[in-house]
Amino acid sequence: MKRTLALVLVLGLVALVATDAFAQQGRRLTIEPRLSYWLPDDADNAIGYGAAVEIMLSNWFGLVGAIDFWSFEGEDLSATLDAFTDWSISDLSAGLIFYIGYSDTINPYITAGLDYFFIDDDFGGADAGAFAAAGVDDSLGWHAGLGVDIALSDNISVVIEGRYFDTSINVDLTTVEIGDVEVTGFAFLVGIEIGF
């Protein structure tokens, strides 16, 4: 929880400092609180939340940084890794956004970038057995998405996006490598974009 709060505060501080600097240079900065629904391959689907900061360098191209959080129930994670009681992923991502159409109201876009997944795991409980001593490594991955930005006013838009994540989580038991858990899969994100 402390890591989550720290990441949110850092993202907010960066957004506040950058807002004035980019406004003075004539560039547009937006902040987007959002909800998501992730369907990973080897875990139960999960509802998440997060926020993104978008810096548009032109009407067609921009940079995007985001943080998203998901918590998973892990009992049916896989046949060999059913000792997970619960675990959570914090995703810190950076990428590019390209608008493939531009109008006053509806703006479709594509996006792609790199992700760093912070993993918090809990192998406790009566069913954990030997997995109680297991460890999970943080993971590097990537994403690609297709979305639409629907303007409600000059400074507020609704954003709907479908995104594909590609990564796996490595699970180790002391010096024995247990294997990778595939969390590759699709997610759907819905947010409110606020421009400055």
Q: How confident is the model at residue 175 (pLDDT cuts 50, 70, 90)?
A: low
Total number of domains in the chain: 1
Evaluate whether 54 touches 181 at the Cβ level (below 8 Å).
Answer: no
Residue 132: per-residue pLDDT: 53
Lowest mean pLDDT segment, chosen from 36-40, 59-63, 124-128, 142-146: 124-128
- Please say if the pLDDT value at position 20 is more than 70: no
Evaluate whether 191 touches 35 at the Cβ level (below 8 Å).
Answer: yes
**89-135 pLDDT tens trace:** 889 999 999 999 778 889 999 999 999 988 776 554 444 455 555 56
Q: For residue 9, what is the domain's CATH number?
A: 2.40.160.20
> Between the CA of residue 66 and those of 14, 73, 133, 150, what are the distances in Å?
12, 24, 32, 19
- Please say if the pLDDT value at position 73 is more than 70: no
SS (H, E, C) 54-93: EEECCCCEEEEEEEEEEEEECCCCCCCCCCCCEEEEEEEE
Q: Which domain does 165 fall in, by range?
A: 2-195
